[in-house]
Structure 1
Amino acid sequence: MAQHEIWDVDTAARYDTPGTGMFSPEVLEPTVQRLAGLTAGGRALELAIGTGRVAVPLAERGVPVSGIELSQPMVDQLRAKVDAGTIPVVLGDMASARAPGEFTLVYLVFNTISNLLTQAEQVACFRNAARHLSPGGCFVIELWVPELRTLPPGQRATVGQVEPGYLLLDTYDVLNQRVVSHHVHFGDGTAAELFRSPHRYIWPAELDLMAQLAGFELESRHADWSGADFTAESGSHVSVYRLPR
């Protein structure tokens, strides 16, 4: 399925989980605090802004925030929270769409660069971020580390998460660096609801090379938004890339 088909009206309506999961204060507060510091008093642009999970609290801190978003239903959910004067959004692809003005920070959170399913599109996303930034500006990416060490030889799938009423199953195409996440929600009966999302996973070293092609240098990499050390055991990373001044 194409991304605009995945992020439809039904998905957008169910996306927000106020106070829990990725909307919980322990997840959001360190994210917003770090991003606010990286703006250095300038303007921020969120690629794939979605329903404003990060952009709304960042704007509430006084940071001027704009966005680019492919899905109109996701933008509609954002508009239920703030108007276009508060957080302007350009409807389009994060790898090519242009937002007006110049920014000191561009950011892309919660693994979303992997929604671009080819290496060429992912490189284009870096270059699009660079086009929006003033000299010395930074591009921040939050991304998971591919979990191929959990994939036994000959197996094509791993169980990523098991909770009451929820199961996450990831299927891999290691030749093309593709993974499809199958999110299964179920109750006490026999019925279940399936949501699938395709991704192209990126190793940290490959991500750094994409950044170099767009003129960035890696400034820092941590395991989370609070600044924990990134190690071989880290499941994700927050990487800050900066343009020369």
Structure 2
Amino acid sequence: MPEPLRFDRDPDRPNLLHLVADEVVQATVDLDDPSYLDAEYMQRIAYLVDAMAAPKAPLRVLHLGAGGLAMARYVAATRPGSYQQAVETNRELVDLVRAQAPLPRGVKVKIRHTDAREAVESAPEASYELVITDVYAEARVPAHVTSTEFLTAAHRVLRPGGHYAVNLCDGGQMRFLKPALAAMGAVWAHTAVMAEPAVLRGRRFGNVVAVAADTELPIAALRRRCAGAAFPCRVLEGTELREYIAGAAPATDATAIQSPPPPRSLRSF
């Protein structure tokens, strides 16, 4: 039986709230600074947000998985006037965020209560410049948001030149990660991943942020930000990424699997 969702206040910073689901910290929200991102994987997604368009230019963003709306707050703070829609199946989570971590005044995010797959399949064609998938169920990425069929639907709702970003996680033999990355490569012309070397080698469980587009990705900017991060990480793309995937077949609706559960000792990832 999953544990109830809750926000834990940081003992050193009372307005820093940690969203805990299934006893794992899933997101952190700073009520004083909407541009603050505590999670390393969110920082990596932010590297793409910062680099994909001119500074402060508004974007149309679809968030698949609302969480604490930390990434939506970041987009609103750094790109004022952005149109954002968040998709979340868990009404308890949305109610908790609205009650204990409300959005700053003037920040508007439309929230839909539906499944991520249903949301992209029903969205108008070429309606967003960025789609971010950060969907978890009991601390695992569901299989149906990694398949070529799902990704093809996400591709359809992107405008020309639009970008896709996803938060994945794996460890060990990477049986979940590599087919998911292969599926992205089957749908988009350009893909890249950002992750710590130990995670990519399967030596420990952790997050891998993958990004994709039909146009050239801002690889130089991503490498610079990843190298200068508090916890530096690698960027794999092109031949290096293809060699890493090592011939894994793209995940499909018939073959996709959910990500493995995080180790019990892991409090956040």
Class of the TM-score when normalised by the shorter of the 2 chains:
0.5 to 0.7
2:68 & 2:61 partners in 1: Cα distance? 16
1:11 & 1:242 partners in 2: Cα distance? 37
Equivalent residue, structure 1, for 2:153: 128
Identity %: 18
Matched, 1:239 2:251: no
From the superposition, tell whether residues 110 and 34 of structure 1 become closer, same or farther in structure 2 (CA, over 3 Å): farther
* Equivalent residues in 2 for 1:62-141, closer than 5 Å: 62=80, 63-80=82-99, 81-82=102-103, 86-97=108-119, 98-99=122-123, 102-109=127-134, 114-117=140-143, 122-141=147-166
Compute the RMSD of aligned alpha carbons.
3.8
Unaligned runs of 5+ in 2: 10-15, 19-24, 30-36, 217-269
Give TM-score, length-normalised by structure 1: 0.57
From the superposition, tell whether residues 86 and 118 of structure 1 become closer, same or farther in structure 2 (CA, over 3 Å): closer
1:70 & 1:146 partners in 2: Cα distance? 27
Greater relative CO, 1 or 2 (CA 8 Å, sep 6+): 2
What's the offset of the Cα at 1:89? Answer: 1.6
Aligned residue-pair number = 180
Equivalent residue, structure 1, for 2:189: 217
Offset from partner CA, 1:47-77 (integer Å, 9 cap, x none): 0113313222322222432111112222223
What's the offset of the Cα at 1:125? Answer: 3.0
Give TM-score, length-normalised by structure 2: 0.53
The question of whether the paired residues in 1 share the 8 Å contact of 2:62 and 2:131 is answered with yes
Code of the aligned partner of 2:62: L
2:118 & 2:73 partners in 1: Cα distance? 23
Code of the aligned partner of 2:39: V
Equivalent residue, structure 2, for 1:44: 61
From the superposition, tell whether residues 239 and 111 of structure 1 become closer, same or farther in structure 2 (CA, over 3 Å): farther
Matched, 1:11 2:16: no
Code of the aligned partner of 1:93: D
From the superposition, tell whether residues 50 and 23 of structure 1 become closer, same or farther in structure 2 (CA, over 3 Å): closer
* Equivalent residues in 2 for 1:189-228, closer than 5 Å: 202-204=176-178, 206-213=179-186, 215-223=187-195
Unaligned runs of 5+ in 1: 150-200
What's the offset of the Cα at 1:129? Answer: 1.7
